[in-house]
Amino acid sequence: MATSPESLCCFCPLPFRYFVDSVVNLKFDEEPNYAQYISFFDDILGPNPDVRPLITKGAQELIQVGLKRGRLSLDEGEDGQPIKRVHIGMPATQWISVYNGRHPMKQRYHYNMTDSRLAQHIEKGDEDDLFISAVSSYQNLWAVIMDAGTGFTCQIYELSLYFLHKEWIMEQWENNYYINALARVQNGSSLVVVSKGTTYVQQSYKVSNSFPFKWINKKWRGGDLNMVTEQGWFTYGTICV
């Protein structure tokens, strides 16, 4: 494609650029992720999922997820009339950056990346002997920090449609890889990074619908420390080492 997505969509809202970028980078035999494409336009379609103009299997699945996000419960008020309570999860709407003082080292960051752009930036970092030290997300976009000061000797990652893919993680633990970074985007996909050369000797994780403070306290009493907690729609993923 001679015209870049940035140029083609320069006068359009950002979701159009993300959509075009994802589509033009599809491989010939790659299955389109329709639910993800539709989710790009969440912010400009309005709050009512029933007015979505695309009626596909992916759209219907996304609608069902949207309906689950808003849950109604009825309580009686002082006058005996039912009171509606609406519980709606809201995603983060900003990038949050933290800087730490340390000795100078080579470091690189990438942000606002779609799934299709993620692999090429990570591969370029590998060629320059950089390892992923942190990952984050905003809506359906990724941010990755890579640097030369991690002490890691080997690193792999998985971009999965499942939040903390258990079978894959267990397989990597058997090969002496440990999770050092993870994030989840709005459409449910997760990025899990595992590395060799960490200081960890054991690792465990828990996926829960509420913050697992009791589980963390139990791990603390056993000598484990909480490394990272990632929050998705009504779901927490917590890693202890």
* pLDDT value of residue 146: 93
Q: Which residue has the higher pLDDT, 72 or 159?
A: 159
- Report whether pLDDT(107) > 60: yes
Q: Where along the chain do its domains lie?
A: 5-63, 107-236
* Whole-structure pTM value: 0.54
169 in Cβ contact with 160 (< 8 Å): no
Give 185's DSSP letter. -
- Which strands make up the sheet holding 107-113, listed edge to edge? 107-113, 141-147, 131-138
Looking at this protein, which amino acid is placed at residue 147?
D
Q: Give the tokens for residue 145.
A: 């920090």
Task: Residue 179: name the closest of 187, 189, 191, 188 by CA.
Answer: 191
Report the chain's mean pLDDT, rounded to a whole number: 75
Residues in the chain: 241
Q: In this predicted model, what pLDDT tens digit does every residue of 125-184 receive, in sequence order?
A: 999 999 999 998 888 889 999 999 888 999 999 998 877 788 888 899 999 999 998 888
* pLDDT value of residue 154: 94
53-60: long-range contacts, CB 8 A cutoff, minimum separation 24: 58/33, 58/34, 59/34, 59/35
